[in-house]
Every structure is written in structure tokens, then in C-alpha cells.
Amino acid sequence: MTKTKLYIILFFLVLGLQKSYSQNYKFKTSGFSVLEKNEKGKWGKWSDLDLVNILVSLDTNKDRIVIYSQIIQLFEIIDYQATEENDTDIVYSFTCKDNNGEDCTVSIITRKKQGNRKQLYVNYENRIIVYNIFNM
């Protein structure tokens, strides 16, 4: 009987410790740009950078990313992809579904050779939105 109690206590301790690693990250944007595919399926050119001041939240407790633009963009995180790192970038990517049910990949990229500048990419099949972001 005591072994069973010990296992139950250990089980709940392990569950509690895993929850404690979840975090909420907040960013602000300074600008965004959009790239779209044309009717022939080829990528066009990036739009001019629009200056914006928008809050972005990455909440690992709720498995979601929220961009608080004029129309709130909510991304449910389906999968946390492995971190990629090379000489120039550190990339954290998430497989997501947006509030319209559309599949996309959201990536936070740190540009190492650009003073650790951060960018948030929202990649859809036919368009990419990039936000320049900084930690709050």
C-alpha cells in the first residue's frame, strides 16, 4: 500500500514540475511586411514595411500565439518543432492553426549577425507575413 501511495505522489510531482516550465512571452512589433504568391504560383515582392506597434503573446500554457492587431490573429499551437540553429540564425517554429482553421507555421527567428534582431514569420501556403519584434 505504501508503494502505491509513493508512486501516486511521484506521478503528481512529475506532472506539477512539467507545468512549471510553461511560460508566457510578450513581444512588441515595430513593423510588418507581406509576401504573396501571384496567380501563376510564383512569389512576388515583399510589400513596403509598415510601421506598427502591436502586442504579440506566446503562451506555452495555453499552446497559443496571439497577435493583437486590429483584427486579432489567434494561432493554436499544434506542434512545437525542433529548434534550428546555424551561424546566422536561431529559429523556433510552431505548427499552428489560425482562427479561420487554416494551417500555417509560425517562426520566431533571431538574427545573430544583426545584433540578435528578432522577427516573427507567419507562413501560409500562399503568403508570408513578417513582423519585426522585440522583447518587452
pLDDT at 8: 54
Contacts by 120-128 with C-beta closer than 8 Å and gap 24+? 120/27, 120/29, 120/56, 120/67, 122/67, 122/73, 122/75, 126/36, 126/37, 127/34, 127/35, 127/36, 127/37, 128/34, 128/35, 128/36
- Residues 53-73: tens digit of each pLDDT: 999 999 999 999 999 999 999
pLDDT at 136: 84
Percent of the chain whose predicted confidence (pLDDT) is above 90: 80
